[in-house]
Amino acid sequence: MPTPPGQPPALRTAAFFDVDNTIIRGASSFHLARALHQREFFSTGDLVRFAAHQARYLLLGESRRQIDRIRSRALSLIAGRSVAEITSIGEEVYDTVLSLRIYPGTQRLLDEHIAAGHDVWLVSATPVEIGDLIARRLGATGALGTVAEHEDGFYTGRLVGDLMHGRAKAAAVSALAERDGIDLEASYAYGDSLNDVAMMDEVGHPCPINPDARLRRHAQDVGWPIREFRGRRRRVTRSSVRTASWAGAVWAGALVLRSVRRAVDRRFARL
User: For residue 135, which amino acid is it?
Assistant: A
Structure confidence at residue 17 as a pLDDT band (50, 70, 90): very high
Residue closest to 195 by CA, chosen among 62, 66, 69, 65: 62
Domain locations in the chain as residue ranges: 14-270
Distance separating the N- and C-terminal Cα atoms of the chain: 79
pLDDT for position 50: 58
198: Cβ–Cβ under 8 A, 6 or more apart, which residues? 166, 167, 169, 170
Residue range 54-60: mean pLDDT, rounded: 51
Interatomic CA distance for residues 225 and 152, integer angstroms = 46
| Residue range 150-168, pLDDT digits in tens | 888 888 877 787 778 889 9
Residue range 225-234: mean pLDDT, rounded: 81
**For 14-270, which CATH class?**
alpha beta
Is 18 designated active site?
yes
pLDDT for position 8: 58
pLDDT for position 165: 84
| Active-site residue (options: 18, 119, 196, 212) | 18
Q: CB–CB of 140/122 below 8 Å?
A: yes
| Residue range 61-106, pLDDT digits in tens | 555 555 555 555 566 667 777 888 888 888 999 999 999 999 999 9
pLDDT for position 16: 98
Q: What is the 3-state secondary structure (H, E, C) of 210-255?
A: CCCHHHHHHHHHHCCCCECCCHHHCCCCHHHHHHHHHHHHHHHHHH
| Residue range 169-224, pLDDT digits in tens | 999 999 999 999 999 999 999 999 999 999 999 999 999 999 999 999 999 999 99
Is residue 254 over pLDDT 70? no
| 258-to-45, 55, 184, 196, 255 alpha-carbon distances in Å | 12, 20, 52, 39, 5
Is residue 131 over pLDDT 80? yes
Mean confidence (pLDDT) of the chain = 78
Is residue 55 over pLDDT 70? no
Between 161 and 54, whose confidence is greater?
161
pLDDT for position 75: 62
Is 180 designated active site?
no
Is residue 265 over pLDDT 60? no
The b/e string for 11-34 (b: 16+ C-beta within 10 A; e otherwise) is ebbbbbbbbbbbbbbbbbbbbbbb
